[in-house]
Structure 1
């Protein structure tokens, strides 16, 4: 239908409430649990189209234009027509029309979340809501108490939080001025808004926003005028959520401080927190992630309501709020740092693709990852140095599992020996795996991230050998130094697309790389002796790969560029910057083999 632009296959109906006609769109099977999506300001229901289409395979998905927005009619007069009480009437009318016999799972963004907090905390909606997912929109009552607490007992930290949020809320003051917001939206601002979203928020161009934007924004100014001052000055004391709440917190939101939610557990006892490295308009920029989190939360609450054992509880591992539901691919995942990294992401609730050239090892990692906490885990067998095999892997992963959110290029091999003892074939093998394997991963999976336009992160495992020269490791050190520089160059190139790149540089870590490392210029017996001795030395050092895995997750969370791991790696990194002559002197020393 022409009126359902961006919502292909949606069914349309009209719901009457208080003299208003609300335009409602439905997707999916009505016999399944209902997920009701409420849009914000200055949006219409089409802001949810990308999320709705992803949810429609499993749920009955409902969207409606808030009064005065999209194709819904506006109240007359506008003043007093957008109070939270009247918006609650609208919600109940829609819920009764689309799901009369079962409570709905509520999802709100921006002002859709603000009003949904009202729905989730007032008595008259009890029994009509099964769960609530909130993003980029606090309860005005909670906000009011947050302000009062900081004004009653000011400390430097609290005053800083007040001033910080006050600066972020500049647009709220503007929307309270008479006439000017309407003139701006119906004039130049309304025309330029799509380009502003595309440039500032990285919202992909397309069928959003809809042509109704100028009138939507003009009418929506009354959402602020009818509610903000009254609720912030006289917040309700009983604004406790009577449903489980999932909070999705975009860390780059330019309108809302994350400190607004510091004490949210007091108001929402059944709270699940999620964080996302994104800006305000996450329904358009991160629909994949939102759909995954909403699906997990809805299904868990459906199981709980049915009295079934809850299979889909939120992950509780370190950084679970950040990685839950994300798709993570790790190469070299069959053992060592790769396996530990796959397990760490699994504990954080990520979906894991374990890649290794050893099929049995990859399968074991995937099996264990699911037992540890990954909602889903898959094993894939590939030689990362094989370009065509990597291309097929990238195509398969995108088609069957989705676009990767975090890529960890970890696969690598070791080679020791002097430069003149290292043959051309030795050089080729080391560079094919350690460098070209990383290049293939970055090029193929990084390109998918960039084309998706929802950001992501690439982690490349380099080594302390990347900045610590050694006469015994010319080929290995060269390959890792190249990985380090590649990471720095990619980081600069992809920063504007929201894709972070980190180089992890471990020192001596107790893994099986020493048992399989090659030693150039010696016979097989001597090579085996050196492998055993180096394995013993690394074992005595006993730095566990789990600590490297922890550093990898932290690097993604903090978007760190270069991360030396182990004390010797950090020391060598500092020496490479401040005392390079001393490091070169160490490089001339004979290795303990």
Structure 2
């Protein structure tokens, strides 16, 4: 798809990976609407566009968990640009701690932003992208945590696994409408994502993850200085979108992890024959998935 003059809405688009994607999109000639929460980040982003002589984005203040405000934002984007072609669900929080001690507030906050924020974007923007019939693209930014788990990132990992599953299925649903869907799983990136715990909303204050040790958190954040430039991530997202790739991986260093996951998965399969009936059902499922990926609408009847 030619992205020139196409419109894109990016949540959390004024800093970090979101801003990296926004700059890549702007270089490709796209028109932008960017959501933000931090006024300082918004001003910095606005200055970049002005300094580059680019069309100013439409900046929209948004908490992605606020469904009523999300609906208003979607209408504002459509009203301003006429049509919306690309949705990038990028906003998220990175919060870590022992999962076995987590409270409801921990689950509700992290899942509410990282998964619920994506849901709110999809519910509000998919009908608008479908309506104009010109096709488009949806990008859900997850993390390598969508594949790799760890002892301090249980809820964060759960949210990213959920985004991964939702995105992979949604790709089948939207193919008939010429709307591509991509899952982006960045690795370590030079952003301030590590400080999310310092910005915990008051309504989710009851945490079992322990008191935030600012010095310890800042030491952890130092690792992010070694991360990939967000603009490089943005360039790779744009390239993956243009190639309509379902999975966009940005960091090459995770080969050993995927090899380990594959080998462990294959080793876990029982070494025994499966009955013909079950084999036929799985054959039909694979066939239906291939048909859906090619643009055919698949119903339940296609699975049996």
TM-score (normalised: structure 1)? 0.42
Given the alignment, which residue of 146, 168, 171 partners 1:488?
168
Q: State the Cα deviation string for residues 489-543 of structure 1 (Å, max 9, x = none).
A: 110000000000000001111110012346953223x2x123111111221x232
Tell me, yes or no, if the aligned pair for 1:336 and 1:511 is still in contact at 8 Å. yes
- Quote the Cα distance in structure 1 between the aligned partners of 2:65 and 2:179: 24
Q: State the Cα deviation string for residues 72-106 of structure 1 (Å, max 9, x = none).
A: xxxxxxxxxxxxxxxxxxxxxxxxxxxxxxxxxxx
Given the alignment, which residue of 246, 257, 263 partners 1:561?
246
Given the alignment, which residue of 189, 195, 209 partners 1:521?
209
Tell me, yes or no, if the aligned pair for 1:323 and 1:348 is still in contact at 8 Å. yes
For the pair 1:362 / 2:50, whether they are aligned, the reply is no
* Bigger strand share: 1
For the pair 1:532 / 2:218, whether they are aligned, the reply is yes
- Structure 1 pair 468/477, CA: closer, same or farther in 2 (3 Å)? same
Q: Which runs of 5+ in 1 are unaligned?
A: 1-276, 278-321, 583-593
Given the alignment, which residue of 135, 141, 149 partners 1:461?
141
In structure 2, the residue matched to 1:545 is: 230
Tell me, yes or no, if the aligned pair for 1:328 and 1:353 is still in contact at 8 Å. yes
Q: Which runs of 5+ in 2 are unaligned?
A: 199-206, 268-304
**In the TM superposition, what are the counterparts of 1:44-193 in structure 2 within 5 Å?**
none
Instruction: Classify the secondary structure of the residue corresponding to 1:535.
Output: helix
TM-aligned CA deviation for residue 575 of structure 1: 3.3
Instruction: Classify the secondary structure of the residue corresponding to 2:35.
Output: strand
In structure 2, the residue matched to 1:263 is: none
In structure 2, the residue matched to 1:221 is: none
In structure 2, the residue matched to 1:427 is: 107
Tell me, yes or no, if the aligned pair for 1:348 and 1:373 is still in contact at 8 Å. no
Q: State the Cα deviation string for residues 40-77 of structure 1 (Å, max 9, x = none).
A: xxxxxxxxxxxxxxxxxxxxxxxxxxxxxxxxxxxxxx
TM-aligned CA deviation for residue 554 of structure 1: 0.8
* Bigger helix share: 2
Q: State the Cα deviation string for residues 92-126 of structure 1 (Å, max 9, x = none).
A: xxxxxxxxxxxxxxxxxxxxxxxxxxxxxxxxxxx
- Quote the Cα distance in structure 2 between the aligned partners of 1:490 and 1:499: 10
Query: Greater CA radius of gyration, 1 or 2?
Result: 1
TM-aligned CA deviation for residue 568 of structure 1: 3.3
Tell me, yes or no, if the aligned pair for 1:564 and 1:573 is still in contact at 8 Å. no
Given the alignment, which residue of 261, 264, 267 partners 1:576?
261
In structure 1, the residue matched to 2:8 is: 328
Instruction: Classify the secondary structure of the residue corresponding to 1:353.
Output: strand
Q: State the Cα deviation string for residues 435-476 of structure 1 (Å, max 9, x = none).
A: 011111112112211122111000000110011111211100
Q: State the Cα deviation string for residues 115-168 of structure 1 (Å, max 9, x = none).
A: xxxxxxxxxxxxxxxxxxxxxxxxxxxxxxxxxxxxxxxxxxxxxxxxxxxxxx
For the pair 1:379 / 2:65, whether they are aligned, the reply is no
Tell me, yes or no, if the aligned pair for 1:370 and 1:376 is still in contact at 8 Å. yes
- Quote the Cα distance in structure 2 between the aligned partners of 1:406 and 1:575: 34
Equivalent residues, number = 259
- Structure 1 pair 581/414, CA: closer, same or farther in 2 (3 Å)? farther
Instruction: Classify the secondary structure of the residue corresponding to 2:99.
Output: coil
In structure 1, the residue matched to 2:95 is: 415
Q: State the Cα deviation string for residues 370-394 of structure 1 (Å, max 9, x = none).
A: 5435434221110011111100000
Instruction: Classify the secondary structure of the residue corresponding to 1:458.
Output: strand
**In the TM superposition, what are the counterparts of 1:343-358 in structure 2 within 5 Å?**
343-358=23-38
In structure 2, the residue matched to 1:444 is: 124
Higher RCO, 1 vs 2 (CA within 8 Å, ≥6 residues apart): 2
Tell me, yes or no, if the aligned pair for 1:507 and 1:565 is still in contact at 8 Å. yes
**In the TM superposition, what are the counterparts of 1:187-336 in structure 2 within 5 Å?**
277=1, 322-336=2-16
Tell me, yes or no, if the aligned pair for 1:331 and 1:338 is still in contact at 8 Å. yes
> Cα RMSD over matched residues?
2.0
Q: State the Cα deviation string for residues 318-364 of structure 1 (Å, max 9, x = none).
A: xxxx3221111111112110111111111121111111122342343
- Structure 1 pair 418/334, CA: closer, same or farther in 2 (3 Å)? same
